[in-house]
Structure 1
Amino acid sequence: MKSITINGSKRESVGKKATKALRNAEQVPCVLYGGEQTVHFSAPELAFSQLVYTASAHTVVIALDNGETYDAVLQDIQFHPVTDRILHIDFYRLFEDKEIAMDIPVHVIGTSRGVLNGGVLRKNRRKLRVKALPKNLPDFIEADITPLKIGGKLYITQLESDGFKFLHPDNTVVCQVKRSRLVVEIDDEDEEEGEEGVEASEGGEATAAPAEGGESQE
C-alpha cells in the first residue's frame, strides 16, 4: 500500500487554548494512539490534502521535528460543520506483527452483460473493511462485474482476499445489476431454442399449397 509522509511538531500543551491557537495558525491538532504512550502532535492543514481528499487508501509515516517517526493509519477525522475545515485527526499506530482493520476502496472492472442489455449497475459497497498485517493491506479491491446479468449480484465471497480477510458477513452484496425500464433481456435458453427451431425448419420438407381456385385431387 502506498504511504504518505506527514511532517509535524510534537505538542506539549493539549488544552483548549493551545488547540485554538493551533487552528488559528492553520495547524491541525492530531493524536496518535496504539503505542505504549499516546502522542500529541500538529501539522499544517495542507499536509493532509492527499490523505483526506482522495478515494484511495494510504498508510502514513508521521515524521516529527524531534526526530521521531511512526507508521500509522488514519482512524478518525473531524470537520467544521460550516467551513469543512479539518478540526482534528486521530491516527492509529502500525506494527509489522499486528493486524490492523482498515477501509479499502472497491474498484469495479469488466463489462456486465446485464448493463449492456439495459440494466443499471448499483454499487452497494464503495469501500470494504478488511483486517491484515500492514504489509498485506491492498491498495484497492477489484470487483469483476463481467458475469452479472440483469438481477445478478456480486457477493463478497466471490472477491479475492489473499493475505487479508473481510470484516463483513458472507451475504454482503458488493455490486448488483438492477432492471430498468429500457431493458433488452436475452435469455440463454430462449437463444438455444430459437437456434434449434431454425435448424428444424431448414431440415424439414416443404409442402406446396394448392393453387387458387383449384381442387385437390386424390
Structure 2
Amino acid sequence: MKTIELKGSAREIAERSSDQTRAIREIRNNGGVPCVLYGGETNHHFTVKASDLRGLVYTPDIHVVNIDLEGKQFMAILQDIQFHPVSDKILHVDFKEINETNPIVMEVPIKLQGLAKGVKAGGKLQSQMRKLKVRALYTNIPERLVIDVTKLELGKTIKVGEVSFENLDILNAKEAVICAVRLTRAARGLAGTASADSAE
C-alpha cells in the first residue's frame, strides 16, 4: 500500500455535551476536522486540517497513514468518514491504529486485467464489484487486487469464491459476482439476423 503523512493536534473532550458541540463547531469553522484514532492502548482525539485530508479521502487508492500527534508517531488506516449530507464537507474521520503483527480488515480496489474471450465474441465486460473486503497483515495488502479475465467467455461470470490471493482472506460472500461478460443488444441483433439468414 501507499503511505501518506498526516499531522494532527490533540484536542480535549469536554465533559458537557453542549461544550463539546461548541468546540467541534469551532474546529470546523476554522478549517479543521475532528478525528479519533482507536485500536491501540488508548483512544486519541485530535484535529487535522481539512485540506490535508484531500489526498487520503478523494482518491480510489488505499493508504497506510503515518500520523504525527505532536511528536508521537502512529500507523493507521482510514476506517470511517462522515460527510455533511448537503455540502459533502468532511465532518469527522475515524482512524484505526495498526501494527505488523495483528491482521486488519479493509476494502481493496479490484483491477480487471486482460481481454476476455467473451468480449472478442461480441459481449461486454461488466464489473459488478469495485472492491473486495480482505483480512490480512497490512504488509501483505496490495494496492490493487488484479483479476485476469482473459478466459472469461460470453455469458459467464467470475465469482468471489473463484479467486484467491496469497496471504489474504476474502470476506465477501463466495457467490457474489465480481464481473461478467454480457451479450450486447448489437450482438443479439447480429445473432438474430444470422439465424434468420441461415433459416432461409
* TM-score band, normalised by shorter chain: 0.7 to 0.9
CA distance in 2, matches of 1:78, 1:155: 31
Which string of whole-angstrom CA distances, capped at 9 and with x for unpartnered residues, describes residues 28-57 of structure 1?
Answer: 000011112110001001111111111111
Residues 72 and 91, structure 1, Cα contact 8 Å, conserved in 2: yes
Q: 5 Å matches for 1:70-85?
A: 70-85=74-89
Q: Quick check: 1:145 aligned with 2:149?
A: yes
TM-score, normalising length from structure 1?
0.80
Which stretch has the larger CA shift, 21-30 or 3-12? 3-12
Structure 1 or 2: more strand by fraction: 2
SS at match of 1:16: helix
Match for 2:69: what amino acid? L
Corresponding residue of 2:62: 57
How many Å apart are 1:79 and its aligned residue? 0.7
How many Å apart are 1:171 and its aligned residue? 2.1
Corresponding residue of 1:127: 131
Corresponding residue of 1:19: 24
Corresponding residue of 2:8: 8
Q: Which has the larger radius of gyration?
A: 1
SS at match of 1:183: helix
Q: Quick check: 1:109 aligned with 2:113?
A: yes
- C-alpha RMSD over aligned residues: 1.5
SS at match of 2:187: coil
How many Å apart are 1:144 and its aligned residue? 1.1
Match for 2:101: what amino acid? D
TM-score, normalising length from structure 2?
0.87
How many Å apart are 1:157 and its aligned residue? 3.3
Identity of aligned residues (%): 40
Q: Quick check: 1:68 aligned with 2:68?
A: no
CA distance in 2, matches of 1:134, 1:110: 27
Corresponding residue of 1:44: 49
Corresponding residue of 2:197: none
CA distance in 2, matches of 1:168, 1:81: 28
How many Å apart are 1:117 and its aligned residue? 2.4
How many Å apart are 1:138 and its aligned residue? 1.4
CA distance in 1, matches of 2:81, 2:149: 33
CA distance in 2, matches of 1:55, 1:116: 29
Corresponding residue of 2:192: none
SS at match of 1:115: helix
CA distance in 2, matches of 1:117, 1:107: 22
Which string of whole-angstrom CA distances, capped at 9 and with x for unpartnered residues, describes residues 88-144 of structure 1?
Answer: 001111021111000000011100121222212111110000000111111110111
CA distance in 2, matches of 1:157, 1:2: 27
Q: Quick check: 1:31 aligned with 2:36?
A: yes
Which string of whole-angstrom CA distances, capped at 9 and with x for unpartnered residues, describes residues 162-205 of structure 1?
Answer: 11110022222211111111227xxxxxxxxxxxxxxxxxxxxx
Provide structure 1 residue ranges, at least 5 long, that are not aligned to the other structure.
Answer: 185-218
State how many pairs are aligned: 184
State which of 93, 102, 120 in structure 1 corresponds to 2:97.
Answer: 93
